[in-house]
Structures are given as structure tokens and as C-alpha cells.
């Protein structure tokens, strides 16, 4: 227990010292601000563009749905990749600088290292994501003053997918150890495989990738929680299993 608390303090200090926490916080708050703002200003921007081009077209009325379309789109295309890039070196940096090896030779248990890094990364991801989601939510109700169904569940799907990515990062880090690029390519490979597998209807609804495509359908009421529950359970189970395998892999690794 003393090792775990000491490691938690170490991770907290390092995330502040190397500005990772502040970087992620800034990125996700910016996403939370620009997403509803972009949706709000888009009709005016499109009207100006079409006027200059001499095109006459009646633009649809922008609603809160468009704000969340922007938010989840920005989160998938910008937020999650930045999360992977920033946290992908959480273990590889330790090996590159030999700081972890010195601690392990002094009696630090390997599974404690993996557990703390996994939990702290989840904590950091949760904090920055909540800030971004709350910012987007507040701006959305400010601009449109209407709320949608299943908003917490929709936000929760992306959060769970982020945890899945973190578990993959931990597994890749246990395998490659000193190779940051190896971690990034592993995560990219997993995502590409899931995208390809999502083409087939029989498997699409059971993959973690399905969570990212279900946010808006939950908000609009096209699907219910029962429809996404298989993917939720599989993603949660896969995250735990991958993390446990990463501990086994790390324990067996030759330093």
C-alpha cells in the first residue's frame, strides 16, 4: 500500500511537471468551447459562402444536436488521438531513462507499477474529459436552452472507449517498453482492425468502436441503452482483460 501511494504521488508530480495534465486539460476545454460555437456560427458562415458563390439554399435550423455532433466528432478525431499521444509514453519514458529499472531493483513490485500507471491515466483522462464535456454541455444549453435524452450515457460511451485505449497502451508498453512508436502503432493497428471489423453488421454492434458511433443515436432516441449494452460490457471486459494480460507480460519481461 505504501508503494502504491508513493507511486501515485510520483505520477501526479510528473504529470504536472511535464505539463501533460495541463496540455490535456487545455485541449479538452478548447474542444468543449469550439464545438457548440462552431455549430452556432455555421449557418452564418455557410450563408456568407453561398452568397459569395451566388448559391441560393435554405439552411436547416441549427439545434443542440448539431453542437453534440461537433463535440463527439472533435473528440473522436482530435481528443482521443491526443490522449494516446500524450499518455502513450507513460511507461516507455521510464525505461528510456532507466528510472523504473532502478526502482524495481530496490524491491518495487512490477504489478504495482502497472496498476498505478493504469489507474492514474484513467483518473487523468476522466478529469480532462469531464471538463471538456461539462464545458460543451454548458455552452450548448446557453445557446439553445434545451436538453437531450441520455446525455450522460452518450458522454459515458466515449469515456469508456478512452479507458479501452488506455488498456491497449498499457499492453503495448509492457511489450515494447522502450519504443514509443511501437505503442502508437499498436493502438493504431487495434483501431484499424476494429474499423474493418465494423463493416460486418454481425460484429459491428459488439465492438468497442461501436461506442463512438452510438453517441448521437442515443441523444436523438434512435437507439436505447439496451442496444449499446453488449458493446459496453464487451469493452469494459476487454479493458480489464487486456490490462491483466499487460501485468502478466510485464512480470515476465526481462529487464
Percent of the chain, pLDDT > 90? 54
Residue 46's pLDDT is what? 66
pLDDT in tens, 168-207: 999 999 998 888 899 999 999 999 999 999 988 888 899 9
Q: Which of 46, 74, 48 is nearest to 60 (CA)?
A: 46
pLDDT above 70 (res 156): yes
pLDDT given at position 188: 95
Would you place residue 209 in the very low, low, confident or very high pLDDT band (cuts 50, 70, 90)?
very high
The mean pLDDT of 92-97, rounded to a whole number, is 79
Is 80 exceeded by the pLDDT of residue 95?
no
Strand boundaries in 53-99, DSSP class E: none
- The answer as to whether 50 is a domain residue is no
Give me the residue label for grid cell 463493416. Answer: 199
pTM of the model: 0.91
What residues contact residue 116 under an 8 Å CB cut-off, 6+ apart? 4, 7, 8, 11
Q: What is the pLDDT of residue 221?
A: 84
Mean pLDDT, residues 4-30 taken together: 90
168: how many CB neighbours lie within 10 A of its CB?
25
Residue 41 within any structural domain of the chain:
no
The grid coordinates listed for 252 are 515476465
- Return phi, psi of residue 141, to 5°: -70, -20
Residue 64 belongs to a domain: no
Domain count, the chain: 1
pLDDT bin (cut points 50, 70, 90) of residue 35 is: very high
Q: Does the structure show a pLDDT above 80 at 51?
A: no
Between the alpha carbon of residue 242 and those of residues 124, 168, 194, the distances in Å are: 19, 7, 15
* 10: confidence class by pLDDT, cuts 50, 70, 90: confident
Among residues of the chain, what percentage have pLDDT more than 70? 88
Q: What is the pLDDT of residue 250?
A: 86
Q: What is the pLDDT of residue 23?
A: 94
Position 145 pLDDT exceeds 80? no
Which pLDDT value is given to residue 49?
65
Query: Is residue 10 domain-resident?
Result: yes
| Residue 45 maps to a domain | no
Tell me the angle at which helices 64-74 and 20-53 cross, rounded to the nearest 10 degrees.
Answer: 130
CB atoms near residue 254 (< 10 Å): 3
What does the pLDDT read at residue 150?
87
The answer as to whether 44 is a domain residue is no
Residue 223 has pLDDT above 80, yes or no: yes
Residue with cell 450522460: 152
> Hey, what's the torsion of the CAs at 158, 163, 168, 170, to 10 degrees?
150
Q: Which of 68, 76, 78 is nearest to 140 (CA)?
A: 68
Supply the range of the domain harboring residue 106: 2-19+71-131+149-252
User: Mean pLDDT, the chain, as a whole number?
Assistant: 88
Task: Match 488506455 to its residue by C-alpha cell.
Answer: 166
Q: Quick check: is 158 in a domain?
A: yes
Q: Does residue 38 lie in a domain region? A: no
Q: How many angstroms separate the Cα of 63 from the Cα of each of 38, 140, 142?
A: 12, 9, 12
Count CB atoms within 10 A of the CB of residue 61.
Answer: 7
Contact 77, 133 (CB under 8 A): no
Amino acid at each position: 500500500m505504501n508503494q502504491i501511494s508513493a507511486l501515485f504521488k510520483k505520477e501526479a508530480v510528473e504529470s504536472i511537471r511535464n505539463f501533460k495534465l495541463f496540455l490535456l486539460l487545455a485541449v479538452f476545454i478548447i474542444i468543449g468551447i469550439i464545438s457548440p460555437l462552431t455549430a452556432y456560427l455555421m449557418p452564418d458562415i455557410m450563408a456568407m459562402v453561398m452568397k459569395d458563390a451566388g448559391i441560393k439554399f435554405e439552411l436547416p435550423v441549427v439545434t443542440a444536436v448539431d453542437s453534440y455532433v461537433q463535440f463527439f466528432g472533435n473528440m473522436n478525431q482530435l481528443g482521443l488521438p491526443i490522449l494516446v499521444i500524450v499518455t502513450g509514453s507513460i511507461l516507455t519514458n521510464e525505461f528510456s531513462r532507466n528510472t523504473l529499472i532502478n526502482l524495481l531493483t530496490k524491491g518495487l513490485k512490477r504489478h504495482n507499477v502497472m496498476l498505478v500507471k493504469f489507474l492514474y491515466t484513467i483518473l487523468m483522462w476522466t478529469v480532462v474529459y469531464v471538463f471538456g464535456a461539462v464545458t460543451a454541455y454548458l455552452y450548448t444549453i446557453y445557446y439553445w436552452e434545451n436538453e437531450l435524452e441520455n446525455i450522460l450515457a452518450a458522454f459515458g460511451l466515449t469515456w469508456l472507449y478512452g479507458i479501452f485505449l488506455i488498456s491497449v497502451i498499457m499492453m503495448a508498453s509492457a511489450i515494447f517498453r522502450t519504443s514509443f512508436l511501437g505503442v502508437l502503432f499498436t493502438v493504431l493497428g487495434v483501431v484499424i482492425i476494429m474499423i474493418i471489423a465494423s463493416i460486418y453488421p454481425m460484429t459491428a454492434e459488439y465492438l468497442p468502436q461501436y461506442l463512438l458511433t452510438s453517441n448521437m443515436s442515443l441523444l436523438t432516441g434512435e437507439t436505447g441503452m439496451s442496444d449499446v449494452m453488449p458493446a459496453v460490457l464487451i469493452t469494459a471486459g476487454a479493458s480489464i482483460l487486456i490490462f491483466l494480460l499487460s501485468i502478466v507480460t510485464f512480470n515476465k519481461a526481462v529487464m
